[in-house]
């Protein structure tokens, strides 16, 4: 997690600084954000309405066909699997599970990082020491071997277990960022005013503090979603997912096991890998864009034409 996000969200945004004209307008003016949003929208459409992109398919895309190991043709654009299933139809219908993993696991890891990071900074004292030590422990754990062990012994093939493991191993870096940002806000005037008014701690954190951290929270969600997509595909490729499910990682697993490259069917092996990469690019572009929007120091310098 840290390796992925380190290059995209290393600097916390300035406290209370919001893009001029609103966050939506700032996103629309950023080319990286627009390209990432367009890619993500395409994957959302594929996940929500797969039948629109495979109108000729009637029934289960996993149904066994009568033309195994066929190359690309007018009938099967990306060829068929060893069981005669249409690779293109599997690719489209696999979008839903991969996107669900990214969004649910990314959202869960972000919520956990916000709760732990902000609570540690605001409460201070013993609570801060305990939560910071917990964050440090998860930061130094070898993440991928831990994921493999947990996914293997906690329920091989269970999608809920995979999402739980991704959340458990994906929150610590975000919590460290949230704590740093919340520490910079803790003694600001608007929070002191809320304390003087006698507001409760939960009200101060949720209503006064979190809205000023929204850009950092969004950037952390995008980083966690990117981490979840890549890690889940890796687990399923290793055979730690449900082999009968429709996902890009499972497609890679069967392509490897049935010798797609040896049988001259590169589209079967490469297309799910390309889909994983494009979804990762969509989250990464949005993450970079939110970093630039929330932190002016990261924005590219635009040269102005010298007036003659």
Query: What ranges do the domains of the chain cover?
Result: 87-294
How many CA atoms within 13 Å lie on the side-chain side of 261? Answer: 7
How does pLDDT run across 167-209, given as a tens digit for each residue? 988 899 999 999 998 998 888 888 888 888 888 888 888 888 8
The phi and psi torsions of 69 (rounded to 5 degrees) equal 55, 45
Greater model confidence, 187 or 227? 227
Consecutive H or E run containing 228: helix 214-237
* Average confidence score pLDDT of the chain: 83
Secondary-structure breakdown of the chain: helix, strand, coil percentages, each rounded to the nearest 5: 70, 0, 30
Strand extents, DSSP E, 79-237: none
Q: Cβ contacts of residue 275 below 8 Å, gap of 6+? A: 91, 94, 95, 98, 248
Q: Could you tell me if 144 and 231 are in contact, meaning their C-beta atoms sit under 8 angstroms apart? A: yes
**What pLDDT score does 215 carry?**
81
CA distances 78 to 145, 164, 216, 239, 276, Å, are: 34, 33, 40, 23, 17
Contact status, residue 250 vs residue 236, Cβ threshold 8 Å: yes
| Global confidence as pTM | 0.82
Higher-pLDDT residue of 166 and 146 is 166
Q: Give the pLDDT score at 11.
A: 43
Query: Tokens 């840290």 correspond to what residue?
Result: 2
pLDDT digits (tens, 9 = 90+) for 54-84: 988 878 888 888 888 888 888 889 999 988 8
From residue 41, how far is each of 27, 91, 169 by CA, in Å?
A: 14, 17, 27
pLDDT number for residue 122: 85
Task: Read off the pLDDT of residues 253-307 as tens digits, 9 standing for 90 and up.
Answer: 999 998 888 888 899 989 999 999 999 999 989 888 877 776 666 666 654 454 4
The superfamily CATH assigns to domain 87-294 is MetI-like (1.10.3720.10)
pLDDT reported for residue 298: 63
Per-residue confidence (pLDDT) for residue 14, from 0 to 100: 45
């Amino acid at each position: 997690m840290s390796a992925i996000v380190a290059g995209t969200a290393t600097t916390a945004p300035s406290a209370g600084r919001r893009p001029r004209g609103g966050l939506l307008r700032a996103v629309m003016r950023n080319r990286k954000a627009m390209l990432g949003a367009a890619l993500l929208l395409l994957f959302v459409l594929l996940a929500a309405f797969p039948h629109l992109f495979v109108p000729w398919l009637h029934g289960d895309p996993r149904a066994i066909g009568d033309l195994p190991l066929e190359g690309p043709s007018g009938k099967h654009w990306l060829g068929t699997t060893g069981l005669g299933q249409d690779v293109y139809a599997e690719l489209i219908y696999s979008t839903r599970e991969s996107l669900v993993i990214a969004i649910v696991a990314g959202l869960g890891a972000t919520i956990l990082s916000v709760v732990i990071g902000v609570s540690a900074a605001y409460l201070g004292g013993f609570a801060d020491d305990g939560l910071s030590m917990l964050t440090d422990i998860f930061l130094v754990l070898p993440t991928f071997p831990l994921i493999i062990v947990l996914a293997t012994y906690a329920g091989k093939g269970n999608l809920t277990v995979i999402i739980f493991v991704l959340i458990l191993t994906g929150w610590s870096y975000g919590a460290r960022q949230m704590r740093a940002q919340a520490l910079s806000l803790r003694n600001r005037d608007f929070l002191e005013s809320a304390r003087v008014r006698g507001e409760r701690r939960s009200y101060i954190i949720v209503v006064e503090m979190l809205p000023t951290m929204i850009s950092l929270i969004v950037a952390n969600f995008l980083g966690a979603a990117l981490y979840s997509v890549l890690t889940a595909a890796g687990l399923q490729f290793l055979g730690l997912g449900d082999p009968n499910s429709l996902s890009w990682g499972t497609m890679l697993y069967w392509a490897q096991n049935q010798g797609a490259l040896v049988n001259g069917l590169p589209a079967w092996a490469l297309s799910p890998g390309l889909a994983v990469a494009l979804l990762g690019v969509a989250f990464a572009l949005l993450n970079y864009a939110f970093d630039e929007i929330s932190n002016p120091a990261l924005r590219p310098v635009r040269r102005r034409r010298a007036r003659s």
